[in-house]
Structures are given as structure tokens and as C-alpha cells.
Amino acid sequence: MSLLRVENVSKQFGSLIAVNGVSMNVEPGELRAVIGPNGAGKTTFFNLISGFLTPTAGRVTFDNEDITHMLPARRVWKGIARTFQITEVFPELSVRENLRVPVEVAAGHRLSPWLSADDDGEIRARVTDLMDMSGLADKADRLVGELSHGDQRATEIMMALALKPRLLLLDEPTAGMGDQETYDIAQLIRKLHKDQSLTIVLIEHDMRVVFHLADRIMVLAEGAMLAEGTPKEIAANETVQAAYLGKAAA
Amino acid sequence: MTQLILFNVFNGLIVGAFYALMALGLSLIMNLSGVINFAHGGFLAVGAYLAYSLIPYIGFWGGLIVAPFLTAFIGLIVERVLIRRLYGRDPLYSLLLTFGLAFMFEDGTRFIWGAQSLPYQVPGWLLSPLSSELFFLTGYRLFMVLIVAIAVIGLFLILGRTRLGIRIRAGTLDLETVSVLGVNVRILRNLNFGLGIYLAGLAGVLAAGMLGLQPTIGSSLIMPSFVAIIVGGLGSLPGTLLGGLLIGVASGITTVFFPSATEAVMYVMMAAVLLVRPHGLLGEEGRF
Amino acid sequence: MNPIDYNKYTATVIVWLLLLTMPFWLPAIGGYSELGTRVVVLGLAAMSLNFLLGYTGVLSFGHAAYFGLGAYGVGLTIRYLVPSTGVGIVAGTLIGTIAGAIIGPMIVRLRGVYFAMVTIAFGQVFFFIAFRWHSVTGGDDGLTDWSRMPINLGFTTIDIQHDARAFYYLVLVVFAIAVGAMAWILRSPFGRTLIAIRENERRARFLGIPVDQHIWIAWTISCCFVSVAGALYALLNNFVDPRALYWTQSGDFVIMAVLGGMRSFWGPLLGAAIFVVLQDYLSSQTQNWMSFVGLFFVLVVLFFPRGVLGIIKRKVAS
């Protein structure tokens, strides 16, 4: 049974068709990469899944429930968390506080005027766990806005993870990073995927990362699906090579 | 009774035309620069008083033509010296700045021209009623409607046909792209501000003839202009025009049946519109 | 205790010491008792506004409306219903809070300048009601023929009516409760969601925070506190008129918050103190004090956008 089912979704802005009848099924525990040239509609496609935009046609189902028109916050409660192409964090708060917000939301405390000592202890422990997992522990009290790009990215991923999602959407997690940072983030994603068998969909430009991590790959071009398959199949696919990999290599 | 209603509807239409003229200027500035110009009412008062002071020298028609341009010129300077510094910062700051300017304008006009109401000379032939049946249709009222109509049509022609207007509209949609395409955004915003202030000045000159001249003339017209923008649709100029006329007429009709609610009715309309269409009658979702 | 917490703790102690002893030192530096009470009352209003402005990142320019409703609430209650200061404060607060809660859903979908504009415009509704409903509110002349009542605690009666110092301490007690509640909320999980919204609304939304709902609650809380301030303001003057509801009053609150420092808890109180003293001085010196207040706005925006405490914080940090 697929965890996420996207059926024939389209999104039109005026006369521009950004996404045109794309379908995708993601199985539990799968790591799916979405690739494609710039302007292929990858981010728009992501936005349709996370609720940032609603499709003009088609249907999105998560865990057998139709979420096509559900508000973003509700989708989060159902278990869909995401990161953004341009890092979205709380810049004037510390790493600890950045993580504390989603941990409290996930624990059902978003409207609480107070916490019991037990709850508070649990939340602190969970925040510490998340920081340890990502190597952010020694920067716990630094403001996130002052951290390196890589650490900000890592913070954002851990914030999404703090929600205990069943599906994690990562929009170009390694964008703008150097080799070492890219490697670190890729290792972090791999760890989440393998150790917690978390279902992940990611958009990525760095082909080394994609072929290293993905179970399956979907290729978008000009808003439509060009191909779909295992990394091996995609690497061997001539249409993809012509339309995308060829261009990237040239 | 019919005549009373007609009178008030017509009256409302005229008042609405003022609101619209004011609100169009406010909208222009807000859409391109993200600034709520609280001092808009102040500029209106300046326009009115300038016309008052000029009329003895250059006559009614001269005042009507020159005063709005002078007001716009003051607007260009204010934008250049003060408001320009605040673009790209939290909108809070431009709000507070224009708020302070509004105080200074109101007090300044009081200081220069005095707190008492001043008589405003309109040519005699414009004041006589057109017919005894429709006693309220004085020439001046028709004349005002005509001028407002010309101004509004002129504005839409400028925005639709001239290079400046097309750039303003493009800038409203996507300022970054316009700037990348080589348009000087600073000058564009400056001229756009001047255009908005010109409309305020014109509204002032016309309003003085109808409402009389007092320092609070501007602050009494600015709130309805806000309501016109909200009702008509945030970000939409035709919406602003529609909003102004609608609330004017609604107030006019209310005057007949429930005079003490004359001002309140526009706010009730605003609440109703916001409940049904949060972005106003002709506003677009997702513009802000 | 880390240095930041230590600084906050010190600031809180200093503020409370100054407030508690104000009636004793204020006359010595040329102030009068009523001025001190006004600072505390308007400081509470500015802090309530800052709950939205500085901590939720929402730009309200219409807080005078709820301030004024609190003021009329207490005045009307004492004048027509129950001659009791306590009941009046509660009634004024309730009226302001309920009005805020009702207006809330109509405005929470808007942001930035549009939010500001709609909040101002809605505020005007209440202004016109107070202005036009002459038979009840006294219209433009204001609501007169009432005054604050002595407070009967059973075993003793506090004469806040004639003893200005006793009234100051009553105001300070109410202030303490309101400010304490505000600080409490800001430290709670709910308070953290508000700061999260200020920091990055998009991120907050995609962390499962229904932003509009949270802003609505924050707005209502803020309206509640500002109407408490309004009620105290009416008691201070034994009088209310429509100017308490007028949009220029909202602007005063905003400038107080900005002047003191929006990002600090006590900033707006400091801003209120500076503003009240300045206005008091200017209006005694010149007829054209409005121009000077306007000029003051312009100067604050151009030269002190971070506010007094913002500047001090920066100096300390560097």
C-alpha cells in the first residue's frame, strides 16, 4: 500500500502550466529522488504535496486520505514535514529554541499555557537527542542566523524531523554547499532513511547524492514526467540522457 | 421623498468620488512602494490651501490647475528626502514616518492659515442650480463629478498607455524583474509617489469648494479612503474606484434613513466584504 | 545563570524597584503623581501592543479602539450600572476583549500594511459609535458625571478617589497582574509559537502551526490587556471621550513601543515614559506641540529605529 499517492496533478499559473498531469506513488520506507532541469516544476510539484499550493487538477492522497485541499498545518499533523529550497529557520533564535518549537507542536502542546515538569523534561531530552543526532550539540545556544549555511540546513532538516513525520520532503538539501557539507548532509539523510526507515522524497541537483541515496528516481521535464525507475534504469534511459543528463554533462 | 433620496444618492456619489480620488492615490503608492501614506490627507489639505492662496492672483481656474502640481512637487521632495530611506525596511517605519508627517501637515496648515474655517470662492455661475426640480444639481457638483471623471480616466490612460504607467504596473507585480530590465526603480517610485500626491492635491482643491477649508479637511477624508481600498480589493485600482463610489453612495442613502449611522455604514460594509471576500471585491488572492 | 538571563533578571528588578518607589522620588525631580500613573497606564497599553508587534510580528495600528472600549466600559458601568471600580475594570476588559475576539477572524488573513490598514479602519467604527451615540456616551463632550469609587475590601476601605498615591498603587497592582500574565504567556509553548511566527511565518506554518488561528488568539490576548489599560486610563481621568478611541492614539502606542525597543519586554514602558513626559512638556510650552510630536515620530524612525533599549543591547553585546 502506497503511503503517498499523487494522481495526475496539474498546476496552472495564468497561461503557464507549471506541473502537467504528474503521478507518483511512494511506498513506506522508500527514498525517492525527484530530478529534472531548472524550471521543470519540481518545487511546484513539492508545493502541491505539502499544501503550499493546491493543484488545479488531480488528487493527492496520504495514507489513504484525500489531502488535496487540506491546510498545510493539518498535513503536518498527519505526518508530512518539509524543508525549503532556500533555508527557512528562525534566525534570531538559538538552535535549541528552533528545535523546541516543532518538538512541542509534535507533543500536542502548541496551545499550552504551561508545561508540567515531566513534559518539560521529555521535551528537553528530545531536543538534546535531535541535536546529538545531527552534530549540532556544541552549537545549541548559538543563534541559527549566525551559523554556517550547512549547519542551518542541518537545523532545518532536524526541525522537520522533530515533528516525527511519516513522510519527509526535502527540497534540494545540499543546494549551495561545498563538498564536505554535501557529504555530511547526505550521510545524515542516509542515516535517517536507514536507521529509522523514514520515507523521504527529495529534490536534488547533485547527481552523486541522488545516485548514492535514492531507491527510485523520478525525472520531470517541462512540468511533465519524463521517466521513473531505479537509479540503474534511469542511468540507462536514453530519453533522460538526451533531455537532461546529456545537457548537464555538456 | 424620492427627491430626498435622489439628492442623497447624488451627494453620496460626489463624496464617493472624493474618496475614490484620494484612495486611488493611496493605492498607487501602496502597491508600488508598500507604504501606507498617512500624510495623504495632509497633502490634500495642502492642495486645498495652496489653491485658496493662489486664487486671488491666478483665478479659480489657475488655482485648479496649478495647486495640484505644486502639491505633487512637495510630494516628490518628501519622497526623495524622507520616504525613500525606508524602502525595504519593515513597513512599520514608513507608517510611523507618514503618521508623523500627517501631524506636522495638519498643525502646519493651522499655523499658516489659521484654525478657523475659510471661505473658498467658486465662480458664481457654477453655483446656481440647473433646474428647480432637481435643486441639488448645482453646476459645481456636476463640475466636480466631471473633473473627477476626467482625472480617473486620465490616470487609467497614463497607466495603460504611457511608458511610465506600464512600468508602474509592471513594478507593482514584480519590482525585481523591472529593476533587472534596467528601469530606474528609484525614479519610478518617486514619480509614482508624485502621481499619487497629485490626485490628493486635486481632491483637496475640489473638496475645498464643497466642504469648506479647515485644517482637518484631510484627516476627515483619509479613513474613508482606507475603507474604499479595503472594500474594493487590495492591490486593485479599479476595485479602489468601485469601493470609493460604493461607500459614498451607501453613506448617502443611510443619511436619509438613519442619519446617525452615516459614517458607521461604510465600516459595516467593510466587515461584510472581509467576511465573504477577505481580499476585497476585486482583490486577488495571494497578492500579499 | 548565563549572562543574558542575568541581564534580564537585573532589568526586571530595577524596573520594579523604580515603579514601587515612584511616588517618593517623582516629585523630587519635578514630576507629579498623576504623571507617574499615566506612564504606568500607557506603558501597559504599549506593552500590550508590543505583545503583537514585537513578539508575534503583527502590525496593529488600531489598538486605540480596544483601549477606548475598556475606558468606556468602566465609565459606563460606574455611571449607569454598578458604582464599583472593580466591577467597572472587569466590565471594561470584557468589552474590549470580546470586541477584539469578534473582529479577529475578519483580519487575521491579512498581513503587513494591509493588516495595519484594516485594524485602523475597524477601530474607527467604535470611534463613531462613541461620537454619535450622544445620549449614552455624551458624544464629543465625553462621558462625565462619574468617578472612580473607593475600594471596599471588607475589613478596610481604600480611598483611591482622593488619595492619588493609593490610586497609583492600585494601578500598579493591576499592571503587575497584567504584565506578569504577559510574561508567563510568552514563556509558554504557545508563546514560543508566536515568536516562531514572528521569526518566519512560512516555517511556522510548515511546522504544523495554524498561523491564522494563533494570530487570532494573540490578537485577542493583546486586546484584552490593552482594554485593561484603557479602563485604568478612564479611572485616572474620571472621564472618557472619543479621542481615547481615535486612530491617532493608536499611533502613539506604536511609537512608544518602537521608541523604547520592540524586541525587549520592558522597552515599551520606557518608550511610554519618554513619550508622556515629552508630550506633557511640549503641550505646556507651545500651541504647536502637534508639529513637534510629528517631528518626533520622524526623528525616531530615522535615527532610533531599534529604540533606546535596542541600542543599549547592541552596545552591551559589542
Residue C217 — very low, low, confident or very high, per pLDDT cuts 50/70/90? very high
Q: Is the pLDDT of residue C305 over 90?
A: no
Residue B288 — very low, low, confident or very high, per pLDDT cuts 50/70/90? very low
Q: What is the mean pLDDT of residues B106-128?
A: 81
Which of A70, A100, A105, A126 is most worth mutating to test chain C (most C CB atoms within 10 A of its CB)? Answer: A105
Task: Classify residue B283: in a domain, yes or no.
Answer: no
In the prediction, which pLDDT does B65 show?
92
Task: Classify residue B90: in a domain, yes or no.
Answer: yes
In the prediction, which pLDDT does A125 show?
96
What domains, with CATH codes, occur in chain A?
A: 1-79+165-250 (3.40.50.300), 89-164 (no CATH)
| B267/C110 CB distance under 8 A | no
Q: What is the mean pLDDT of residues C50-74?
A: 95
Nearest to B52 by CA among B168, B215, B205: B205
Name residue A11's beta-bridge partners: A19
Burial of C243 (0-12, 13-18, 19+ CB in 10 A): middle
What is the distance between the alpha carbons of residues B267 and B237, in angstroms, rounded to a whole number?
20
Q: What is the mean pLDDT of residues C284-293?
A: 88
Task: Classify residue B124: in a domain, yes or no.
Answer: no
Residues contacting C245, CB < 8 A, separation 6+: C64, C65, C67, C68, C69, C71, C72, C123, C126, C127, C130
Nearest-by-Cβ selection for C189 from A104, A156, A159 = A104
Q: Where are the domains of chain C?
A: 31-317
In the prediction, which pLDDT does B130 show?
64
The pTM score is 0.91
Distance of residue C107 Cα from the nearest chain A Cα, in angstroms:
18
Task: Classify residue B139: in a domain, yes or no.
Answer: yes
Q: Is the pLDDT of residue C3 over 80?
A: no
Task: Classify residue B57: in a domain, yes or no.
Answer: yes
Q: Give kind and range of the element (H or E) at residue C296.
A: helix C289-303
Q: If DSSP states are collapsed to H, E and C, what string results for A172-233?
A: CCCCCCCHHHHHHHHHHHHHHHHHCCCEEEEECCCHHHHHHHCCEEEEEECCEEEEEECHHH
Residues contacting C286, CB < 8 A, separation 6+: C292
The domain total for chain B is 1
Structural domain including B63 reads: 2-116+131-276
| Binding-face residues of B in 104-143 toward C, CB within 8 A | 104-108, 110-111
Q: What is the mean pLDDT of residues C129-134?
A: 89
How large a percentage of chain C has pLDDT more than 70?
A: 98
Give the chains touching C; criterion: ≥3 Cβ pairs < 8 Å: A, B
| C207/A159 CB distance under 8 A | yes
Give the chains touching A; criterion: ≥3 Cβ pairs < 8 Å: C
Give the chains touching B; criterion: ≥3 Cβ pairs < 8 Å: C
- pLDDT mean across residues, chain C: 92
Residue A231 — very low, low, confident or very high, per pLDDT cuts 50/70/90? very high
Q: Is the pLDDT of residue B206 over 70?
A: yes
Ranges of H-type helices in A107-148: 117-134
Strands (E), chain C: 151-152, 157-158
List C-alpha distances in Å: B266 to B224, B258, B273, C125: 8, 13, 10, 9
Specify the fold of C31-317.
Answer: ABC transporter involved in vitamin B12 uptake, BtuC (1.10.3470)
Q: Which residue has the higher pLDDT, A13 or C98?
A: C98
Residue A249 — very low, low, confident or very high, per pLDDT cuts 50/70/90? very low
Q: Is the pLDDT of residue C254 over 60?
A: yes
Query: pLDDT digit string (tens) for A123-146?
Result: 999 999 999 988 899 999 999 999
Q: What is the mean pLDDT of residues C73-98?
A: 95
Q: Is the pLDDT of residue B283 over 90?
A: no
Q: Is the pLDDT of residue A201 over 70?
A: yes
Task: Classify residue B71: in a domain, yes or no.
Answer: yes
- Pair C275, C42: CB distance under 8 Å: yes
What is the DSSP track for C161-215?
A: TT-HHHHHHHHHHHHHHHHHHHHHHHHSHHHHHHHHHHH-HHHHHTTT--HHHHH
Tell me the chain A residues in contact with residue C189 when contact means C-beta distances shorter than 8 Å: 104, 109-112, 115
- pLDDT mean across residues, chain B: 87
Query: pLDDT digit string (tens) for B155-195?
Result: 999 999 999 999 998 888 888 888 888 888 999 999 999 99
Task: Classify residue B47: in a domain, yes or no.
Answer: yes
Query: pLDDT digit string (tens) for C4-42?
Result: 778 888 889 999 999 999 999 998 888 888 999 999 999
| B100/C301 CB distance under 8 A | yes
Q: Is the pLDDT of residue C209 over 80?
A: yes
Task: Classify residue B126: in a domain, yes or no.
Answer: no
Residue B51: CATH number of its domain = 1.10.3470
In the prediction, which pLDDT does B287 show?
42
Q: What is the mean pLDDT of residues C275-290?
A: 89
Q: Give kind and range of the element (H or E) at residue B173.
A: helix B163-173
Tell me the chain C residues in contact with residue B38 when contact means C-beta distances shorter than 8 Å: 251
In the prediction, which pLDDT does C31 show?
82
Q: Is the pLDDT of residue C290 over 50?
A: yes
DSSP class of residue B138 equals B
In the prediction, which pLDDT does B137 show?
66
Neighbours of B212 (CB within 10 A): 13
Q: Is the pLDDT of residue B136 over 70?
A: no
